[in-house]
Amino acid sequence: MLILAIESSCDEFSLALVENGNTCLFMETLSQIDIHANYGGVIPELASREHTKYFSIVLEKLDNFLNSNWREVDAIAVTIGPGLSGSLLVGIQVAKVIATMLNKPLIPVHHILGHVLSPNLSAELQFPYLALVVSGGHTELVYCRDVNTFETIGATRDDAVGEVYDKVAKKLGLAYPGGPIIDQLAQQGERTFSFPKPKMADPLAFSFSGLKSAVINVINNATNRREQIVIEDVATSFQAVVVEELVDKVERAIAMYEVKMVGLCGGVSANRSLRTAFLELASKHDQKLFVIPELKYCGDNAAMIGVAAYHLSRITNRTQKTKLECYPNISITDFMEFENMRKERDER
Protein backbone atom coordinates (compact mmCIF):
# COMPACT_ATOMS: atom_id res chain seq x y z
CA MET A 1 0.00 0.00 0.00
CA LEU A 2 1.51 3.32 -1.09
CA ILE A 3 0.46 6.29 1.03
CA LEU A 4 1.05 9.92 0.12
CA ALA A 5 1.34 11.72 3.47
CA ILE A 6 1.17 15.41 4.29
CA GLU A 7 2.29 17.12 7.51
CA SER A 8 1.85 20.87 8.04
CA SER A 9 0.85 21.21 11.71
CA CYS A 10 3.43 23.84 12.63
CA ASP A 11 6.29 25.44 10.70
CA GLU A 12 7.30 22.60 8.37
CA PHE A 13 5.55 21.58 5.17
CA SER A 14 6.41 17.96 4.51
CA LEU A 15 5.30 15.46 1.90
CA ALA A 16 6.24 11.77 1.85
CA LEU A 17 5.51 8.54 0.01
CA VAL A 18 5.45 5.63 2.43
CA GLU A 19 5.15 2.02 1.37
CA ASN A 20 3.46 -0.52 3.66
CA GLY A 21 3.92 1.68 6.75
CA ASN A 22 7.62 1.00 7.03
CA THR A 23 9.53 2.31 4.02
CA CYS A 24 9.86 5.94 3.06
CA LEU A 25 10.41 6.16 -0.71
CA PHE A 26 10.32 9.94 -0.98
CA MET A 27 10.27 12.79 1.50
CA GLU A 28 10.63 16.51 1.08
CA THR A 29 10.37 18.81 4.09
CA LEU A 30 10.48 22.58 3.80
CA SER A 31 11.17 24.27 7.10
CA GLN A 32 10.30 27.89 7.90
CA ILE A 33 12.65 28.05 10.90
CA ASP A 34 14.80 30.82 9.40
CA ILE A 35 11.74 33.04 8.99
CA HIS A 36 10.36 32.48 12.51
CA ALA A 37 13.85 32.78 14.07
CA ASN A 38 13.62 36.53 13.34
CA TYR A 39 10.71 36.72 15.79
CA GLY A 40 12.07 34.33 18.45
CA GLY A 41 9.27 31.79 17.94
CA VAL A 42 6.61 30.57 15.51
CA ILE A 43 4.15 33.25 14.35
CA PRO A 44 0.98 31.26 13.43
CA GLU A 45 -0.36 33.67 10.82
CA LEU A 46 3.00 33.76 9.07
CA ALA A 47 3.32 29.95 9.24
CA SER A 48 0.06 29.33 7.37
CA ARG A 49 0.84 31.98 4.76
CA GLU A 50 4.29 30.46 4.14
CA HIS A 51 2.75 26.99 3.81
CA THR A 52 0.63 28.24 0.92
CA LYS A 53 3.87 29.18 -0.88
CA TYR A 54 5.72 25.96 -0.02
CA PHE A 55 3.24 23.26 -0.92
CA SER A 56 3.42 23.83 -4.69
CA ILE A 57 7.24 23.56 -4.62
CA VAL A 58 7.06 20.23 -2.78
CA LEU A 59 4.26 18.90 -5.00
CA GLU A 60 6.33 19.64 -8.09
CA LYS A 61 9.23 17.57 -6.65
CA LEU A 62 6.83 14.72 -5.92
CA ASP A 63 5.43 14.95 -9.45
CA ASN A 64 8.98 14.54 -10.82
CA PHE A 65 9.60 11.57 -8.52
CA LEU A 66 6.36 9.90 -9.58
CA ASN A 67 6.98 10.70 -13.24
CA SER A 68 3.50 12.19 -13.10
CA ASN A 69 2.21 8.67 -12.41
CA TRP A 70 -0.01 9.67 -9.48
CA ARG A 71 -2.31 6.66 -9.93
CA GLU A 72 0.29 4.53 -8.09
CA VAL A 73 -0.76 6.24 -4.86
CA ASP A 74 -3.32 4.16 -2.93
CA ALA A 75 -4.37 6.68 -0.27
CA ILE A 76 -3.72 10.19 0.98
CA ALA A 77 -2.94 10.84 4.65
CA VAL A 78 -2.91 14.17 6.43
CA THR A 79 -2.34 15.53 9.93
CA ILE A 80 -5.60 16.91 11.32
CA GLY A 81 -4.23 17.96 14.75
CA PRO A 82 -2.98 18.88 17.23
CA GLY A 83 -1.25 21.94 15.81
CA LEU A 84 -1.83 25.47 14.55
CA SER A 85 -5.24 25.70 12.88
CA GLY A 86 -4.14 27.83 9.92
CA SER A 87 -1.17 25.57 9.25
CA LEU A 88 -3.19 22.36 9.57
CA LEU A 89 -5.84 23.70 7.19
CA VAL A 90 -3.35 24.24 4.37
CA GLY A 91 -2.25 20.58 4.50
CA ILE A 92 -5.85 19.38 4.82
CA GLN A 93 -7.00 21.39 1.77
CA VAL A 94 -4.09 20.08 -0.31
CA ALA A 95 -4.89 16.51 0.80
CA LYS A 96 -8.59 16.90 -0.05
CA VAL A 97 -7.82 18.20 -3.52
CA ILE A 98 -5.39 15.36 -4.29
CA ALA A 99 -7.74 12.69 -2.86
CA THR A 100 -10.64 14.07 -4.88
CA MET A 101 -8.66 14.34 -8.12
CA LEU A 102 -7.30 10.79 -7.76
CA ASN A 103 -10.52 9.44 -6.23
CA LYS A 104 -8.52 7.78 -3.44
CA PRO A 105 -9.28 7.45 0.30
CA LEU A 106 -8.26 10.19 2.68
CA ILE A 107 -6.85 9.12 6.06
CA PRO A 108 -6.81 11.64 8.94
CA VAL A 109 -3.84 11.26 11.29
CA HIS A 110 -3.14 12.49 14.82
CA HIS A 111 0.23 14.27 14.87
CA ILE A 112 1.44 12.63 18.10
CA LEU A 113 0.48 9.18 16.84
CA GLY A 114 2.76 9.98 13.90
CA HIS A 115 5.67 10.58 16.30
CA VAL A 116 4.70 7.50 18.39
CA LEU A 117 4.71 5.15 15.38
CA SER A 118 7.72 6.72 13.60
CA PRO A 119 10.19 4.08 14.97
CA ASN A 120 8.49 1.62 12.59
CA LEU A 121 10.65 3.23 9.88
CA SER A 122 13.71 1.75 11.66
CA ALA A 123 12.42 -1.52 13.17
CA GLU A 124 9.12 -3.37 13.07
CA LEU A 125 6.95 -2.34 16.02
CA GLN A 126 6.57 -4.96 18.73
CA PHE A 127 3.70 -4.79 21.17
CA PRO A 128 3.22 -3.95 23.99
CA TYR A 129 5.11 -0.84 22.94
CA LEU A 130 6.05 2.25 24.94
CA ALA A 131 6.90 5.57 23.29
CA LEU A 132 8.42 8.64 24.89
CA VAL A 133 7.37 11.62 22.77
CA VAL A 134 9.46 14.73 23.40
CA SER A 135 8.83 17.74 21.20
CA GLY A 136 8.25 21.48 21.29
CA GLY A 137 4.61 21.06 22.30
CA HIS A 138 4.46 17.60 23.91
CA THR A 139 6.12 15.46 26.54
CA GLU A 140 4.21 12.21 26.78
CA LEU A 141 4.61 8.54 27.56
CA VAL A 142 2.27 6.64 25.26
CA TYR A 143 1.57 2.98 25.94
CA CYS A 144 0.32 0.83 23.05
CA ARG A 145 -0.95 -2.58 24.13
CA ASP A 146 -1.51 -3.31 20.44
CA VAL A 147 -1.73 -1.19 17.33
CA ASN A 148 -5.37 -0.43 18.18
CA THR A 149 -4.89 0.81 21.72
CA PHE A 150 -3.03 3.97 22.58
CA GLU A 151 -3.02 5.25 26.15
CA THR A 152 -1.21 8.33 27.43
CA ILE A 153 0.20 7.08 30.74
CA GLY A 154 2.30 10.15 31.53
CA ALA A 155 2.24 13.76 30.35
CA THR A 156 3.63 17.12 31.33
CA ARG A 157 1.63 19.20 33.78
CA ASP A 158 3.14 22.43 32.46
CA ASP A 159 5.79 23.10 29.81
CA ALA A 160 6.91 20.59 27.19
CA VAL A 161 10.63 19.72 27.15
CA GLY A 162 11.35 21.41 23.80
CA GLU A 163 9.47 24.51 24.97
CA VAL A 164 11.71 24.75 28.06
CA TYR A 165 14.82 24.34 25.91
CA ASP A 166 13.62 27.17 23.68
CA LYS A 167 12.74 29.44 26.65
CA VAL A 168 16.05 28.86 28.44
CA ALA A 169 17.88 29.49 25.15
CA LYS A 170 15.99 32.75 24.66
CA LYS A 171 16.97 33.86 28.16
CA LEU A 172 20.60 33.08 27.32
CA GLY A 173 20.27 35.27 24.22
CA LEU A 174 20.53 32.33 21.81
CA ALA A 175 18.64 31.94 18.52
CA TYR A 176 15.35 30.07 17.95
CA PRO A 177 14.91 27.11 18.15
CA GLY A 178 17.25 26.90 21.11
CA GLY A 179 17.16 23.13 21.68
CA PRO A 180 19.91 22.18 19.21
CA ILE A 181 22.09 25.13 20.33
CA ILE A 182 21.84 24.23 24.03
CA ASP A 183 22.57 20.62 23.10
CA GLN A 184 25.74 21.77 21.30
CA LEU A 185 26.84 24.00 24.22
CA ALA A 186 26.08 21.23 26.73
CA GLN A 187 28.72 19.02 25.08
CA GLN A 188 31.38 21.64 25.95
CA GLY A 189 30.52 22.52 29.57
CA GLU A 190 30.75 21.13 33.10
CA ARG A 191 27.91 20.29 35.46
CA THR A 192 28.68 23.11 37.91
CA PHE A 193 25.10 24.20 38.76
CA SER A 194 22.84 22.01 40.78
CA PHE A 195 19.38 22.55 39.34
CA PRO A 196 16.43 20.85 41.08
CA LYS A 197 15.05 17.58 39.74
CA PRO A 198 11.25 17.82 39.27
CA LYS A 199 9.21 16.21 42.05
CA MET A 200 5.79 14.80 41.20
CA ALA A 201 3.35 12.73 43.22
CA ASP A 202 2.26 10.88 40.06
CA PRO A 203 5.20 8.57 39.18
CA LEU A 204 4.79 9.04 35.42
CA ALA A 205 3.85 12.75 35.25
CA PHE A 206 6.35 15.36 34.04
CA SER A 207 6.88 18.95 35.11
CA PHE A 208 9.57 21.24 33.75
CA SER A 209 8.46 24.71 34.82
CA GLY A 210 10.32 24.52 38.19
CA LEU A 211 13.54 23.59 36.43
CA LYS A 212 12.97 26.37 33.89
CA SER A 213 12.47 28.96 36.68
CA ALA A 214 15.59 27.75 38.51
CA VAL A 215 17.72 28.17 35.39
CA ILE A 216 16.22 31.58 34.62
CA ASN A 217 16.84 32.71 38.24
CA VAL A 218 20.50 31.78 38.01
CA ILE A 219 20.82 33.79 34.79
CA ASN A 220 18.92 36.78 36.28
CA ASN A 221 21.02 36.77 39.46
CA ALA A 222 24.25 36.72 37.49
CA THR A 223 23.00 39.60 35.31
CA ASN A 224 21.95 41.66 38.36
CA ARG A 225 25.32 41.13 40.01
CA ARG A 226 27.07 41.86 36.72
CA GLU A 227 28.78 38.49 37.00
CA GLN A 228 29.91 36.52 33.96
CA ILE A 229 28.13 33.20 33.60
CA VAL A 230 29.58 30.27 31.69
CA ILE A 231 26.67 29.43 29.43
CA GLU A 232 28.18 26.08 28.47
CA ASP A 233 28.04 25.09 32.16
CA VAL A 234 24.42 26.29 32.45
CA ALA A 235 23.57 24.22 29.36
CA THR A 236 25.34 21.10 30.65
CA SER A 237 23.76 21.36 34.12
CA PHE A 238 20.26 21.99 32.69
CA GLN A 239 20.49 19.24 30.08
CA ALA A 240 21.72 16.71 32.65
CA VAL A 241 18.57 17.21 34.77
CA VAL A 242 16.28 17.00 31.73
CA VAL A 243 17.88 13.78 30.51
CA GLU A 244 17.88 12.18 33.98
CA GLU A 245 14.21 13.05 34.40
CA LEU A 246 13.17 11.63 31.02
CA VAL A 247 15.16 8.43 31.41
CA ASP A 248 13.91 8.00 34.97
CA LYS A 249 10.27 8.17 33.82
CA VAL A 250 10.89 5.65 31.04
CA GLU A 251 12.46 3.29 33.59
CA ARG A 252 9.47 3.67 35.89
CA ALA A 253 7.03 3.00 33.05
CA ILE A 254 8.96 -0.13 32.06
CA ALA A 255 8.75 -1.32 35.65
CA MET A 256 4.99 -0.67 35.83
CA TYR A 257 3.88 -1.98 32.42
CA GLU A 258 4.67 -5.01 30.32
CA VAL A 259 6.80 -3.66 27.46
CA LYS A 260 8.57 -5.37 24.54
CA MET A 261 9.74 -2.31 22.63
CA VAL A 262 10.57 1.27 23.63
CA GLY A 263 10.71 4.17 21.17
CA LEU A 264 12.14 7.66 21.59
CA CYS A 265 10.39 10.14 19.30
CA GLY A 266 9.79 13.84 18.56
CA GLY A 267 12.11 16.78 17.89
CA VAL A 268 13.97 16.59 21.23
CA SER A 269 14.93 12.96 20.49
CA ALA A 270 17.63 14.52 18.27
CA ASN A 271 19.36 15.51 21.55
CA ARG A 272 22.77 13.87 21.81
CA SER A 273 22.85 13.35 25.58
CA LEU A 274 19.32 11.97 25.54
CA ARG A 275 20.13 9.52 22.73
CA THR A 276 23.22 8.33 24.61
CA ALA A 277 21.31 7.92 27.87
CA PHE A 278 18.50 6.08 26.07
CA LEU A 279 20.99 3.64 24.56
CA GLU A 280 22.62 3.12 27.99
CA LEU A 281 19.16 2.27 29.31
CA ALA A 282 18.78 -0.16 26.41
CA SER A 283 21.94 -2.00 27.42
CA LYS A 284 20.47 -2.45 30.92
CA HIS A 285 17.28 -3.97 29.47
CA ASP A 286 18.68 -6.14 26.71
CA GLN A 287 15.53 -8.28 26.38
CA LYS A 288 13.63 -5.22 25.14
CA LEU A 289 14.09 -3.51 21.81
CA PHE A 290 14.98 0.21 22.09
CA VAL A 291 14.59 2.28 18.92
CA ILE A 292 15.36 5.90 18.06
CA PRO A 293 14.36 7.02 14.55
CA GLU A 294 16.92 8.52 12.18
CA LEU A 295 17.36 12.28 12.71
CA LYS A 296 15.24 13.19 9.65
CA TYR A 297 12.27 11.35 11.24
CA CYS A 298 12.69 12.89 14.74
CA GLY A 299 11.30 16.38 14.06
CA ASP A 300 8.03 17.02 12.27
CA ASN A 301 7.94 15.08 9.00
CA ALA A 302 5.39 13.51 6.68
CA ALA A 303 6.91 10.01 6.70
CA MET A 304 5.70 9.44 10.26
CA ILE A 305 2.20 10.48 9.17
CA GLY A 306 2.34 7.88 6.39
CA VAL A 307 3.38 5.21 8.91
CA ALA A 308 0.53 6.09 11.29
CA ALA A 309 -1.97 6.25 8.41
CA TYR A 310 -1.05 2.74 7.33
CA HIS A 311 -1.72 1.39 10.83
CA LEU A 312 -4.92 3.41 11.17
CA SER A 313 -6.19 2.29 7.77
CA ARG A 314 -5.82 -1.30 8.99
CA ILE A 315 -7.87 -0.43 12.08
CA THR A 316 -10.65 1.43 10.38
CA ASN A 317 -10.51 -0.25 6.99
CA ARG A 318 -11.95 2.98 5.66
CA THR A 319 -12.26 3.66 1.96
CA GLN A 320 -14.63 6.61 2.03
CA LYS A 321 -13.48 10.18 1.72
CA THR A 322 -14.45 12.26 4.73
CA LYS A 323 -15.29 15.86 5.31
CA LEU A 324 -12.12 16.67 7.15
CA GLU A 325 -11.68 19.56 9.55
CA CYS A 326 -8.72 20.54 11.68
CA TYR A 327 -8.60 19.80 15.42
CA PRO A 328 -5.91 22.04 16.97
CA ASN A 329 -6.14 20.51 20.48
CA ILE A 330 -7.34 16.95 19.89
CA SER A 331 -6.09 14.30 22.35
CA ILE A 332 -5.06 10.80 21.29
CA THR A 333 -8.03 9.35 23.22
CA ASP A 334 -10.56 11.61 21.48
CA PHE A 335 -8.98 10.89 18.12
CA MET A 336 -9.22 7.12 18.60
CA GLU A 337 -12.85 7.39 19.76
CA PHE A 338 -13.55 9.43 16.67
CA GLU A 339 -11.85 6.80 14.46
CA ASN A 340 -13.76 3.95 16.05
CA MET A 341 -17.07 5.80 15.64
CA ARG A 342 -16.23 6.33 12.00
CA LYS A 343 -15.37 2.67 11.61
CA GLU A 344 -18.75 1.64 13.05
CA ARG A 345 -20.52 4.13 10.79
CA ASP A 346 -18.64 2.89 7.70
CA GLU A 347 -19.47 -0.73 8.55
CA ARG A 348 -23.18 0.00 8.84
Q: List residues near ligand KG4 by CB under 6 A.
A: 10, 135-137, 162, 165-166, 177-180, 183, 266-268, 270-271, 299-300
H or E segment and range at residue 114: helix 111-117
What ranges in 136-259 are assigned the alpha helix state H? 161-171, 178-186, 209-224, 231-256
Between residues 132 and 172, which has the closer beta carbon with respect to Zn ion? Answer: 132
What span, in angstroms and rounded, lies between the C-alpha atoms of 280 and 285?
Answer: 9
Between residues 135 and 139, which has the closer beta carbon with respect to Zn ion? Answer: 135
The listed partner (Zn ion, ligand KG4, none) that binds 119, CB under 5 to 8 Å by sort, is none
CB of 178 to ligand KG4, least distance (A): 6
Q: Are 146 and 156 in contact (CB under 8 A)?
A: no
Q: Which residue is nearest to ligand KG4 (CB)?
A: 267
The listed partner (Zn ion, ligand KG4, none) that binds 92, CB under 5 to 8 Å by sort, is none
What is the DSSP annotation of 2-50? EEEEEE-SSSEEEEEEEETTTEEEEEEEEE-HHHHHTTTS--HHHHHHH
Q: Are 6 and 96 in contact (CB under 8 A)?
A: no
Q: Which residue is nearest to Zn ion (CB)?
A: 135
Q: Which residues of 72-105 are buried (b: 16+ CB within 10 A; e: fewer)?
A: ebebbbbbbbbbbbbbbbbbbbbbbebbeebebb
Q: What angle do CA 58, 64, 69 make, to 5 degrees?
A: 110
Between residues 50 and 183, which has the closer beta carbon with respect to ligand KG4? Answer: 183
What is the binding site for Zn ion (CB under 5 A)? Answer: 135, 300
CB of 119 to Zn ion, least distance (A): 14
Nearest to 88 by CA among 333, 335, 344, 326: 326
The listed partner (ligand KG4, Zn ion, none) that binds 162, CB under 5 to 8 Å by sort, is ligand KG4
Between residues 202 and 280, which has the closer beta carbon with respect to ligand KG4? Answer: 280
CB of 118 to ligand KG4, least distance (A): 10
The listed partner (Zn ion, ligand KG4, none) that binds 82, CB under 5 to 8 Å by sort, is none
What are the backbone angles phi and psi of residue 122, rounded to the nearest 5°? -110, -35
CB of 284 to Zn ion, least distance (A): 28
Between residues 135 and 271, which has the closer beta carbon with respect to Zn ion? Answer: 135
CB of 84 to Zn ion, least distance (A): 12
CB of 37 to Zn ion, least distance (A): 18
Between residues 105 and 136, which has the closer beta carbon with respect to ligand KG4? Answer: 136
